[in-house]
Amino acid sequence: MNVPVAILFLAVGLVLLWKCADFLVAGAVGLAEQLGVSRLVVGLTVVAMGTSAPEVAASIAAVVRGIGDVAIGNVYGSNIANLALVGGDSGVDTSYAGAGRHYPARDTCDDICGSAALACACE
pLDDT single digits (tens) 85-110: 776 766 665 555 555 566 566 666 77
User: Rounded CA gap, 73 and 61, in Å?
Assistant: 13
User: Rounded CA gap, 6 and 41, in Å?
Assistant: 39
Mean confidence (pLDDT) of the chain: 78
- Residue 12 CB-density burial (10 A; 0-12 exposed, 13-18 middle, 19+ buried): exposed
pLDDT score at 94:
59
User: Rounded CA gap, 36 and 40, in Å?
Assistant: 12
For the cut 90, the answer to whether the pLDDT of residue 9 exceeds it is: yes
34-74 residue pLDDT tens = 888 887 777 777 667 767 777 888 888 888 999 888 888 88
pLDDT-derived band at 78 (thresholds 50, 70, 90) equals confident
Length of the chain measured in residues: 123
pLDDT score at 122:
63
C-beta separation of 110 from 85 below 8 A: no
User: Rounded CA gap, 88 and 10, in Å?
Assistant: 30
Nearest residue to 26 via CA among 40, 47, 44, 57: 47
For the cut 80, the answer to whether the pLDDT of residue 113 exceeds it is: no
